[in-house]
């Protein structure tokens, strides 16, 4: 009783009683108390000793295991705790040996991947991860193994790898892995510890963030708007490509520019220099408010012309409300502005003509009410302008003409133009005659040009019959013209007739038609008379006879006309001897080329516009193995051709050279294809060239001809060479070649993994170690065999010297299995403590009160605090936590215990060095016997990742602000399926809906199929060029100046980028100006008098309308180089020059003068010039009208000449 505790005395007595019976007792634990009163745990073993079956004594052996038991108990508690941590943590904790065999995995794997721990242990690394991730792991581990030799391995700390794993259901999931080496007590590396965390949501979020940033970066770089990003001081931080083009400088050059760069280059919309203080960039810097839509001119140098832009500037403010960045944009509107200025200039020019025209010009609305008239209209009618503007069209005509006027007005509105000759009423009641040429400018604008021809009518009436005769007979002087009466007698002939037939005029006029027509063709002459008399037209070929009896073929055209009140016949005759000769030569040529076609060794096939075969030469029939009857009418679409391409893949009919040539209208040359020849029951290979052929004036080919050579033998020979060259590539073992300098000259695909492990590739060199081996092999001239390892594969490499070429061929053999069988493949399973201690993530546990009970080394390393500074503290009061946030973390801990908090969240904490950092926290509730005992927390430092994402996000927001604030439509479309990939907010607001993912033609145009005006075909022909065009969208009822361009999207595909600048207001403004310009231009262009503007100082014609160009005989392009005075009779030129000089001197000169004009054919015409001097572009020039008065002036002389000729 003095030794044993009271509770153990009876137990020991029981042992003794067993000993009396001869029973031994082993390893029973009974506590004792020493003389100092301390308790000891003793392991007892008792053995009885007998003599002649009589009990003598009992040997008692006691082993004091007090300390050992305490350690064991403590280890058991710790093991239970650590086991609980690993088995209940949300992340997957696992270990692998150095051969990547799983030796342990926590049960959390089943929740994340669906596999049980036992299933995972049976899987190889290849079964666990995708192929691409497997390559990442192997490359990383190979590098770490190399580094480890030099004690520089990252796994001595930890390495983070993001890997794509297979789940049990076949899907994949991304896990973030923290990896560390595991060492035994002797410091020998035994395996890898990993902690894997599900990052699917985070990765998806980061992907979207990066994709968004990349998308806006693509838009920024390819935007057809110049964009600058400025620092707070106004310096340039970044620019896009369009800005570089605008300023003619690269981004690096622009970054070096300060604010002085802009000075002297800025111009106001009125053309005056812009002060820098008024420049939007400067305004925003002062006000911190956006400055939108200012018209700014830029002149980058004195030589460059000014370019005009719609310029905007927008600030990006920091958290304190100060300017961080300023975004400026430049939308090029130079073309619009130039067009507007051109319209203004033209409008001014043509209005001058309106005011000074010698013709009366009336402009009416759709109801016939006059809305404008020129001075000549007032002079002609006798009414003032105000009086006429109160009148209607019908007010100028008597009741006899009003019905005809109404009819003409309705005809004008329907047809767009109308001409009429009609009497009109003057203010004094008298009637004059107008010739009116009217044009419809728009639905509510109609213009009429009026010429008072009252006097001319009197003269021209007398000349009408004579003029008709000679205008009909002599409309072409190069052909024979004969006039017959209805009996067939010749009554008149031109000079060409006398020359052709060999008669004098007097002789010819005594003959009839039958006298000059070959007897065999008299029936044609008879038909000529009847057809012309009945139908007033005739055409035929015949044979005529000359005076000397010779015959010649002719082509005759007949028509009827009235002469002196009687019906006559006009024959236009053309000799066609040369044509007949040409036709004969053509037939001979055709025969020659037909012979060539039939005998040439090259195959020739003709196909019509639908692809049907219409001709094939014998060589083509031989090569294709078909007769012409068998192939006639067959198209390239016929599957019986069994055509294949150069790679022996099926070649659809539409991809045959002939069909491509027909479709594109362009030749296809040297196209290799195979065609099945049924005669030899095998393929023949042909080299084809197809040429489309066009008819004159046609824009589409009417047929295509193809020539082809049989290259079967050459093709087969090349195939053999190619197959031989593929031998190393088809070898499943590594084969590569290294020269004496260690450079890899060639390697097959099977060599890639080995070369990757050597950190080299084709055209790069091997390490110095391998270079030495190459040198030794070449020096010795003998092969050597070396064993090396690549990831899990062990290779035997045979180095064979090729001394004459100074290189070594290396042949590899996989000996992995052979070597592995000689190695010990297993290691002991790792202890839980080792896993926790080696975990790269910080791990801590706390009780239900929130007191931290344990932390691992990584937790201390991440926070900077040691274990003593953390353990025993409340988790919300740790030195890493800002005291101001204590209530927040208390509430957070309560939510965790109540299951209201997400199992993963991000938070900010403070490192011991004072730096604020970001952490990702995952937790799990610890339980024992179904009761909560505490919380396990896993901390991962994500500061760098957050900084990177924040950088991406800031860039994305900066770029986003550019496009979100541009109040013009911007969008990106996939040209293949017309899906909208991006639309800025302004465009979506215009349509009041989200547009991304929609089909462009359906939502933007409300069409059921792609727009007929889609520019995809245009811009994809010239991918590097932008295409600009105007369009009115009926859905928004707005006008746009659109710029389309092909850009590379974030996934590498070519897409259409469209920038639509709203020009509706501009169009309305310019429309008025254009209407006015069109009105006055039409007045001039349609005018029945010649109009021109002449610079008398430089003797240049600044403008000439069609009529004056026609009269003087020069083209529009020649106008500026025309010497006006050379077209005047020398005497009249002096007169005009003198009048100009006097006018420029400020003296009065009668505006009207009659002069003689020299036509291109040398003939003289009388013209009345009516001129006035106007200011035009800062110059004093002459605006003149020219009216041909030749007929009036010479009318009587002509009349006498005609009468004399007719009498004769």
Angstrom distance (rounded) from CA 784 to CA 798: 6
Q: What is the pLDDT of residues 355-409, one digit of tens each?
A: 777 788 888 999 999 999 989 899 999 999 999 999 999 999 998 899 999 999 9
Angstrom distance (rounded) from CA 85 to CA 79: 10
Residue 807 vs residues 741, 742, 777, 943, 957: alpha-carbon distances, Å = 9, 9, 10, 51, 57
Contact 453, 437 (CB under 8 A): no
User: So what's the pLDDT on residue 101?
Assistant: 92
Contact 774, 766 (CB under 8 A): yes
Domains of the chain in sequence order: 6-64 (3.30.450.20), 82-198 (3.30.450.20), 206-332 (3.30.450.20), 340-452 (3.30.450.20), 481-573 (3.30.450.20), 581-717 (3.30.450.20), 726-819 (3.30.450.20), 843-947 (3.30.450.20), 966-1066 (3.30.450.20), 1089-1198 (3.30.450.20)
User: So what's the pLDDT on residue 87?
Assistant: 61
Strand partners for 982: 972
Q: Is 902 exposed, middle or buried (0-12, 13-18, 19+ CB in 10 A)?
A: exposed
435-450 burial, b if ≥16 CB within 10 A, otherwise e?
A: bbbbbbbeeebbbbbb
Angstrom distance (rounded) from CA 520 to CA 1027: 66
User: DSSP letter string over 1092-1153?
Assistant: EEEETTTTEEEEE-HHHHHHHT--STTGGG--GGGGB-HHHHHHHHHHHHHHHTT----SEE
User: So what's the pLDDT on residue 354?
Assistant: 76
pTM (2 d.p.): 0.43
Strand partners for 874: 851
Angstrom distance (rounded) from CA 619 to CA 605: 10
For helices 943-965 and 200-222, give the axis angle rounded to 10 degrees: 40
Compute CA 741 distance to the chain's CA centroid, rounded to the nearest angstrom.
46
User: DSSP letter string over 936-993?
Assistant: EEEEEE-HHHHHHHHHHHHHHHHHHHHHHH--SEEEEE-TTT-BEEEE-HHHHHHHTS
| Rounded mean pLDDT for each run of 10 residues along the chain, 1208 residues in total | 72 86 83 82 81 83 71 57 61 88 89 92 92 89 72 64 92 90 79 87 79 73 83 89 88 88 86 89 90 86 79 85 88 81 69 76 91 90 93 91 91 88 91 87 84 74 57 58 90 87 91 93 92 86 92 90 76 84 68 61 87 89 90 88 89 91 91 91 90 88 89 71 50 84 89 89 91 91 87 85 89 72 38 60 85 86 88 81 68 78 77 86 79 84 79 62 74 93 89 92 93 92 88 89 88 89 78 66 69 84 82 75 84 89 83 85 83 75 81 64 45
| Number of CB atoms found within 10 A of residue 1071's CB | 13
Two structure tokens written together for 494? 């031109």
Residue 709 vs residues 9, 611, 661, 689, 862: alpha-carbon distances, Å = 116, 20, 18, 9, 76
| Number of CB atoms found within 10 A of residue 304's CB | 11
Angstrom distance (rounded) from CA 618 to CA 598: 6
User: So what's the pLDDT on residue 813?
Assistant: 74
């Amino acid at each position: 009783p003095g030794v044993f505790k009271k509770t153990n005395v009876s137990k020991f007595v029981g042992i003794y009683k067993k000993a009396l019976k001869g029973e031994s007792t082993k390893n029973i634990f009974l506590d004792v108390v020493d003389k100092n009163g301390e308790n000891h745990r003793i392991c007892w073993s008792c053995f009885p000793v007998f003599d002649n079956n009589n009990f003598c004594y009992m040997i008692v052996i006691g082993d004091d295991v007090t300390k050992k038991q305490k350690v064991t108990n403590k280890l058991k508690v710790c093991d239970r705790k650590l086991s609980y941590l690993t088995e209940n943590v949300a992340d997957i904790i696992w270990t692998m040996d150095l051969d990547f065999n799983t030796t342990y995995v926590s049960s959390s794997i089943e929740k994340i991947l669906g596999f049980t721990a036992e299933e995972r242990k049976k899987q190889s690394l290849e079964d666990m991860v995708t192929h691409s991730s497997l390559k990442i792991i192997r490359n990383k581990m190979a590098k770490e193994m190399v580094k480890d030799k030099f004690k520089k391995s990252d796994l001595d700390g930890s390495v983070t790898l993001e890997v794509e794993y297979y789940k049990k259901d076949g899907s994949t999931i991304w896990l973030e892995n923290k990896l560390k080496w595991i060492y035994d007590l002797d410091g020998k590396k035994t395996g890898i510890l990993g902690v894997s965390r599900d990052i699917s949501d985070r990765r998806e979020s980061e992907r979207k963030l990066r994709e968004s940033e990349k998308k806006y970066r693509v838009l920024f770089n390819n935007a057809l708007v110049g964009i600058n990003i400025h620092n707070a001081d106004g310096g340039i931080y970044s620019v896009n490509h369009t800005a570089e083009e605008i300023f003619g400088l690269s981004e690096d050059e622009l970054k070096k520019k300060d604010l002085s760069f802009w000075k002297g280059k800025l111009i106001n919309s009125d053309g005056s220099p812009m002060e820098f203080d008024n420049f939007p960039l400067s305004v925003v810097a002062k006000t911190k408010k956006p400055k939108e839509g200012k018209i700014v001119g830029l002149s980058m140098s004195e030589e460059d012309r000014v370019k005009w832009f719609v310029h905007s500037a927008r600030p990006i403010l920091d958290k304190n409300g100060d300017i961080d960045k300023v975004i400026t944009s430049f939308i090029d509107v130079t073309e619009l502005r130039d067009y507007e200025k051109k319209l203004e200039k033209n409008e001014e020019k043509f209005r001058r003509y309106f005011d000074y025209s010698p013709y009366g010009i009336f402009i009416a609305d759709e109801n016939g009410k006059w809305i404008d008239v020129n001075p000549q209209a007032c002079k002609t009618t006798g009414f003032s302008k105000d009086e006429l503007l109160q009148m209607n069209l019908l007010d100028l005509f008597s009741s006899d003409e009003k019905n005809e006027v109404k009819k003409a007005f309705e005809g004008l509105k329907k047809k767009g133009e109308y001409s009429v000759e009609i009497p009109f009423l003057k203010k004094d009641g008298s009637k004059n005659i107008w010739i009116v040429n009217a044009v419809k400018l728009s639905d509510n604008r109609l213009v009429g040009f009026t010429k008072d021809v009252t006097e001319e009518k009197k003269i021209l009436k007398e000349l009408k019959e004579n003029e008709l005769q000679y205008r009909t007979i002599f409309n072409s002087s190069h052909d024979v013209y004969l006039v017959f009466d209805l009996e067939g007698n010749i009554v008149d002939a031109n000079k060409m007739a006398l020359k052709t037939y060999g008669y004098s005029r007097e002789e010819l006029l005594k003959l009839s038609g039958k006298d000059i027509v070959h007897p065999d063709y008299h029936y044609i002459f008879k038909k000529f008379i009847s057809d012309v008399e009945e139908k007033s037209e005739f055409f035929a070929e015949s044979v005529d006879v000359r005076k000397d009896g010779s015959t010649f073929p002719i082509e005759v055209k007949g028509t009827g006309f009235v002469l002196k009140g009687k019906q006559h016949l006009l024959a236009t005759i053309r000799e066609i001897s040369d044509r007949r000769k040409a036709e004969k030569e053509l037939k001979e040529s055709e025969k020659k080329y037909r012979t060539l076609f039939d005998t040439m060794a090259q195959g020739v096939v003709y196909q019509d516009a639908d692809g049907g075969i219409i001709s094939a030469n014998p060589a083509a029939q031989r090569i294709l193995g078909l007769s012409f009857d068998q192939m006639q009418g067959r198209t390239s679409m016929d599957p019986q051709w069994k055509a294949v391409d150069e790679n022996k893949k099926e070649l659809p009919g539409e991809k045959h050279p002939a069909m491509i040539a027909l479709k594109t209208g362009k030749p296809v040359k040297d196209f290799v294809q195979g065609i099945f020849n049924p005669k030899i029951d095998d393929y023949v290979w042909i080299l084809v060239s197809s040429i489309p052929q066009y008819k004159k004036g046609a824009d589409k080919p009417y047929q295509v001809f193809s020539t082809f050579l049989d290259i079967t033998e050459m093709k087969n020979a090349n195939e053999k060479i190619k197959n031989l060259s593929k031998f190393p590539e088809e070898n499943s073992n590594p084969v590569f070649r290294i020269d004496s300098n260690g450079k890899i000259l060639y390697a097959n695909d099977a060599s890639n993994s080995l070369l990757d492990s050597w950190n080299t590739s084709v055209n790069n060199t091997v390490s110095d170690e391998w270079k030495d081996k190459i040198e030794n092999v070449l020096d010795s001239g003998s092969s050597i065999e070396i064993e090396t390892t690549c990831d899990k594969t062990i290779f035997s490499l045979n180095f064979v010297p090729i001394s004459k070429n100074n290189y070594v061929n290396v042949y590899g053999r996989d000996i992995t299995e052979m070597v592995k069988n000689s190695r010990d493949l297993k290691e002991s399973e790792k202890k839980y403590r080792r896993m926790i201690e080696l975990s790269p993530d910080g791990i801590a546990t706390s009780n239900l009160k929130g007191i931290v009970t344990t932390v691992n080394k990584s937790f201390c390393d991440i926070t900077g605090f040691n274990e003593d500074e953390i353990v025993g503290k409340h988790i919300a009061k740790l030195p890493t936590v800002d005291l101001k946030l204590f209530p927040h973390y208390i509430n957070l801990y309560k939510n965790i215990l109540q299951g209201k908090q997400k199992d993963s969240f991000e938070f900010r904490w403070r490192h011991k060095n004072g730096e604020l950092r970001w952490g990702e926290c995952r937790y799990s509730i610890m339980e024992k016997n179904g009761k909560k005992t505490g919380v396990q927390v896993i901390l991962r430092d994500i500061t760098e990742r957050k900084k990177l994402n924040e950088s991406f996000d800031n860039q994305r927001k900066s770029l986003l602000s550019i496009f979100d604030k541009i109040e013009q439509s911007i969008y990106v479309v996939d040209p293949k399926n017309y899906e909208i990939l991006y639309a800025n907010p302004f465009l979506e607001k215009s349509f009041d809906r989200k547009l991304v993912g929609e089909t462009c033609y359906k939502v933007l145009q409300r069409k059921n199929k792609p727009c007929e005006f889609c520019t995809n075909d245009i811009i994809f022909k010239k991918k590097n060029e932008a295409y600009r065009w105007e369009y009115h969208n009926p859905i928004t009822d707005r006008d746009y100046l659109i710029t389309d361009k092909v850009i590379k999207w974030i996934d590498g595909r070519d897409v259409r980028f469209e920038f639509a600048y709203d020009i509706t207001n501009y169009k309305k403004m310019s429309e008025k100006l254009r209407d006015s310009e069109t009105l006055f231009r039409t007045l001039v262009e349609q005018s029945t008098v010649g109009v021109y503007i002449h610079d008398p100082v430089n003797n240049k014609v600044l403008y000439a309308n069609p009529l004056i160009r026609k009269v003087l005989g020069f083209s529009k392009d020649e106008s500026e180089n025309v010497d006006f005075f050379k077209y005047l009779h020398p005497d009249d030129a002096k007169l005009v020059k003198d009048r100009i000089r006097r006018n420029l001197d400020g003296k009065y000169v009668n505006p009207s003068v009659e002069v003689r004009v020299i036509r291109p054919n040398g003939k003289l015409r009388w013209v009345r010039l009516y001129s006035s001097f106007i200011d035009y572009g800062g110059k004093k020039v002459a605006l003149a009208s020219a009216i041909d008065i030749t007929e009036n002036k010479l009318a009587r002389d002509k009349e006498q000449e005609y009468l004399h000729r007719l009498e004769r």
